[in-house]
Amino acid sequence: MDVQSNFLMITSTDESPINGQTGSYTQTKIKRSDFPDDFAFGAATSAYQIEGGWNAGTKGISNWDAFTQKQPGGISDSSNGCVAIDHYNMFREDVVLMKKLGLNSYRFSIAWSRIFPGGRLSTGLCKEGIQFYNNLIDALLAAGIEPYATIFHWDVPQCLEEEYGGFLCDKIVKDFCEFAEICFWEFGDRVKYWITLNEPWSFSVSGYVIGTFPPNRGKAPTTTGEAKRHSSLHRCSFRSQIACKNGDPGKEPYIVAHHLLLSHAYAVDIYRRKYQESQGGKIGMTNCIQWYEPLTDSQEDQDAATRGNDFMLGWFVEPIVTGDYPESMIKNVGDRLPKFTEKEEKLVKGSYDFLGINYYTATYASNDSTKPTTHSYLTDLHVSPSTERNKVPIGAKAGSDWLYIVPWGIQKLMLDMKKRYNDPVIYITENGVDEVNDKSQTSTQALSDEIRIHYHQEHLYNLKQAMNQGVKVKGYFIWSLFDNFEWAAGYSVRFGIFYINFADGQFTRLPKDSAVWWRNFLSKTAVIPLEKEAQKPEERRKRLKSG
């Protein structure tokens, strides 16, 4: 990394067309006014990562509650989200921070087991849980902040896991739809943007191939090559101490993904038939993509990169656009890939108003012609990932092993999606970078995060370049608003623009330099007079409904 003229070079020094341009956009050049007035600038979080209150009121136990408490060794620092950053009790103060930043949007998730303690409607509702989300939504609207609600961010009621295996069983579709419909009924008069699923790829692969997420199924790698594939995957880093339950990584992830897609499609159908016209909202799905770039110009590597993108993003996007899985998956997975019935195909196809994308990083892809002895999602790709080309890293390394800073990847991704997926409306629902949680630093030292400022500058620049070429990007959400529980990484890394002092017992929120930058960036062209609207939440609600 090279720091000069108040600018941090965060991309590879190789400026070849394949590798993409280096960073070249500084703070003085990127402005809020470069984006449309109605562009959503927000931050994102999820329930288990920030709420805490794991057993508040009559809340039920989730799969993450069970996993982290029964198998703490599955988390890098043996931690859990039982308290997390106590957003359950501090949400009002957190909304004040969002308003102070100048955000016009906030993406959060609704914890299934906080609404249905027993997993389904027949077991009763948790009134405290419904009231919590009502209070949060009302606080957001009073501050002039648009709520974007994610229905499923990986937290399955544990009782459904124990009863029938969770998403391994098709019974989950009905129970998911009951949960989704209660969300529409209770909150849809004010929530106008719904996301059914967050990163179903992560849930399917980390839970049923690698086993680092609950239900902890899959098979640990037996070779160095397999371990490399694990550690290079989005949000993944293999840990030898994880004890996976015996699963079938060649079948189970595809079954789980199929049930996730059907849950999404049926929930969208319910929303469109019963709620969308009267509530006036929009609904979509959020997927992640670790952009695969060909290692060389060879046709084999170009095909490998396409397969990598198919097996990650296309796995979930192509069905809702075309009604079926990508051809490369149909070819490579064969009979192990579930099939949609004619009725399901019609339901799945077109089941979105927008596509949410979580982008963090990219990797090089080369063809892997090895013939595996057993079936696994990881070998079905026939892709060998690499973070280097000619010994030059694809980008600067962040705090997590899997995260290299590759801003040009987001532009390539956006242009590819416009071409391949019928020019969809897109929201960047997560984009961010982490640093290692260095406990030897003082809080003051930890607030200096220049690399995060430049990370967002560079990605916003590349996003704007894609928009200039006609990509319909409507919003950008920072991951994350706060340092929080980062799944299998626990509290060992920090993604937030607000530093959380986990040690003081008060979970004090302190703005990092990146939060100050975002406040300055967003304050230059205020679209909504927040103070005036904050005094009239009923007018805010009326305006949102009408326009």
What distance in Å separates the CA atoms of residue 241 and residue 218, rounded to the nearest whole number? 14
What distance in Å separates the CA atoms of residue 469 and residue 410, rounded to the nearest whole number? 13
> Look-up: residue for tokens 């069905």?
319
What distance in Å separates the CA atoms of residue 285 and residue 195, rounded to the nearest whole number? 5
What distance in Å separates the CA atoms of residue 150 and residue 198, rounded to the nearest whole number? 7
For residue 102 the two structure tokens come to 């100048």
> Look-up: residue for tokens 């009979």?
335
Active site residues per annotation: 199, 430
E strand segments, 207-332: 217-218, 245-246, 282-294
Q: What one-character-per-residue DSSP string does 20-42 give?
A: -PPP---TTT--GGGS-TT-EEE
Dihedral sign computed on CA atoms, order 246, 248, 253, 259: negative
- Helical axes 513-523 vs 87-101, angle rounded to 10°: 50
Report the SS3 class of residue 361: strand
For residue 180 the two structure tokens come to 């989704």
DSSP state of 298: S
Residues belonging to the chain: 547
DSSP state of 347: H
What distance in Å separates the CA atoms of residue 397 and residue 214, rounded to the nearest whole number? 27
For residue 193 the two structure tokens come to 């943007």
For residue 191 the two structure tokens come to 């929530």
> Look-up: residue for tokens 């993409």?
20
Backbone region of residue 60 per phi and psi (left: phi > 0; alpha: psi in -120 to 50; beta: other values): beta
